[in-house]
Amino acid sequence: MLVRSPRWLRVAGYRAFSGVARHSINDPQVLEEVKKEFLLYESALCKNDVKALDRFFFDNPSTVRFGTAENLYGYEAIQAFREGRSPPGDRRILRSLITTYGPDFAVANIEFQRDGSSKIGRQSQTWLRTPGGWKVVSAHVSMMEK
């Protein structure tokens, strides 16, 4: 699906030039790349493979992870959090939606449920293609009552 952006966009009073480029949404090859990385991330998360999890996040002070009880700014803070936490355990993915925008940008959203919990978890990740491969640049995890 191709979307043509208007030449100028107005967002909250800010005028931004969008250019004339067309953006490809869910290019099949790009979508497969991101899905593969997402599934590898999910496997590492359930196994609490901290070293593998570290490799999925963009090593940059601008990388952000908001969790259920923590706000982490920067790769080093995210890395320290992972080293100090207990394994999260298995979870079932109830719903997932991965969308790519162009060749280098994607968003992954899931709803999940942990074994033995009545709460529904929500996870959003923003992925960016870098010279080192696909990396998470922003993540948010929250829980809600079913």
Q: Is 131 within a domain?
A: yes
* Residue 20 pLDDT greater than 70, yes or no: no
- What pLDDT, on the 0 to 100 scale, is given for residue 10? 42
- Residue type at 67 in one-letter notation: G
Whole-number percent of the chain with pLDDT over 70: 84
Residue 94: the pLDDT is 97
DSSP 119: P
Print the domain residue range for 131. Answer: 24-144
Q: Where are the beta strands (DSSP E) in the chain?
A: 2-4, 8-11, 14-17, 22-24, 64-66, 71-73, 91-100, 105-114, 120-130, 133-144
State residue 87's pLDDT score: 75
CA distance 116 to 41: 22
Q: Is residue 101 part of a domain?
A: yes
Q: What is the pLDDT of residues 25-79, one digit of tens each?
A: 999 999 999 999 999 999 999 899 999 999 999 999 999 999 999 999 999 999 9
**12 located within any domain:** no
pLDDT of residue 13 exceeding 50, the answer is no
Quick check: is 77 in a domain? Answer: yes
**pLDDT at residue 131 greater than cutoff 60:** yes
Answer yes or no: is 2 within a domain. no
Question: What is the pLDDT at residue 22?
Answer: 59
List CB contacts of 110: < 8 A, sequence separation 6 or more. 93, 94, 95, 96, 97, 122, 123
Provide the CATH number for the domain around residue 59.
Answer: 3.10.450.50
Please enumerate in sequence order all residues whose Cβ is within 8 A of that of 69, keeping only pairs 6 or more positions apart, or say none: none
Is position 17 within any domain?
A: no
Whether 36 maps to a domain, the answer reads yes
Q: Does 9 reside within a domain?
A: no
What letter represents residue 62's amino acid?
A: S
> What average pLDDT does the segment 10-35 reach?
69
Question: Would you state the pLDDT for residue 89?
Answer: 74
How many Cα atoms within 13 Å fall on the side-chain side of residue 72?
23
**Number of domains comprising the chain:** 1
Confidence (pTM): 0.82
Confidence at residue 15, expressed as pLDDT on a 0 to 100 scale: 45
